[in-house]
Amino acid sequence: MASKDIISAGGLDIKVAGRLLRTAHLNDEYYVGAADPATLIAELKHRRVADVFTFVQDLHDPKPRFEHRMSWDKMAVLRLDTYAHWFDKQIKFKPRNRLRKAWKAGVDTRMLDFSDDLVRSIMEIYNETPLRQGKRNWHYGKDFDTVKREHATFLERSEFIGAWFKDELVGFAKITHGDRSSIIMNIVAKMSARDMSPMNALIAKSVECAAARSSALLNYGVWGRRGMNEFKVAQAFECLEVPRYHVPLTAKGAWALKHDLHRGLKERMPEAWIVKLADTRARLNGWLHRTDAAPRPPQAATAKAGAPADTES
């Protein structure tokens, strides 16, 4: 096997990664759950395709239900009632004003069909800058077929939202719906349009879409360690800890779990170290890309380039 493979087991796509210690997990595990983990574990053990299998419990059931070795995934979750309740009672004063500012500036959010034109517009947003939040922008420079394939997942239960300024798409979001919750699968805005607060407009439309589906929760992905959390908290998202289980499939896997070798280096480091390393990386990336042209503001906008779009609050 290569270092990363996708296999099929129990009717589900399983990603297997690693060289010395092969770890398996559901591909797109936050969008597709394992209804019967025991049966899936038995099949993976029999096939010996990995040393460890890890899976996460449903967001709606955060109380540990299994006796396997466990850690916690931290997710950013909004508890939903109605859009009006979110706007009037849940979000903070500053993002509410930013949202009004976006509307006043002429930012318009619309539902979009998935099409080649949308893919090309997404590519334009991705290719605006090679860096985001001091990190390499992994979507920068991707070709058309790659971007289309990556965004064509779960189309039967997904919606695309566009933030427009005049005739220019300045941001987009992809929302994927489940039985009782929705998840923001992707949300990006142009840095050059930051002063028009398109991220706030996209969040508001995402909340509206999720509430219209009677979703009890809106998931904004992993609860991070730095600035994005401030943005999420201002939008009324909170940290929800969900059990993640680690199951040995082989003797090597059992030995690795016993000695805590399944955890990556980042998980072992003190947060202060991670912050310092992230700051160093941001400075280094800024120096390496110092000759790159600044993002072009949308026509007639008064945007200031330089600050990540997704750290607004």
Q: Sort residue 80 into left (φ over 0), alpha (ψ -120 to 50) or beta.
A: beta
Q: Which CATH number fits domain 81-215+296-311: 3.10.105.10, 3.40.630.30, 3.30.70.141, 3.30.565.10?
A: 3.40.630.30
pLDDT tens column, 128-186: 988 776 677 888 999 999 999 999 999 999 999 999 999 999 999 999 999 889 999 99
Q: Quick one: pLDDT at residue 273?
A: 63
CB atoms within 10 A of CB 295: 18
Amino acid at 267: E
Indicate the Cα dihedral angle 270, 276, 282, 283, nearest 10°: -160
Domain with CATH 3.40.630.30 in the chain: 81-215+296-311
Q: Residue 8 burial by CB count (10 A; 0-12/13-18/19+): exposed, middle or buried?
A: exposed
181-189 vs 217-222, strand pairing mode = parallel
Which position has the higher pLDDT, 80 or 268?
A: 80
Q: What is the pLDDT confidence band of residue 279, given thresholds at 50, 70 and 90?
A: low
pTM of the model: 0.81
Mean pLDDT of 39-62: 93
- In 12-79, which ranges are E strands? 12-17, 23-26, 52-56, 69-79
Beta carbons of 181 and 30 less than 8 angstroms apart = no
Interval 6-34 mean pLDDT? 89
pLDDT of 3 reads 57
pLDDT at 129: 86
Name the residue with higher pLDDT: 299 or 238: 238
Contact predicate 146/198, CB 8 Å: no
pLDDT for 304 equals 29
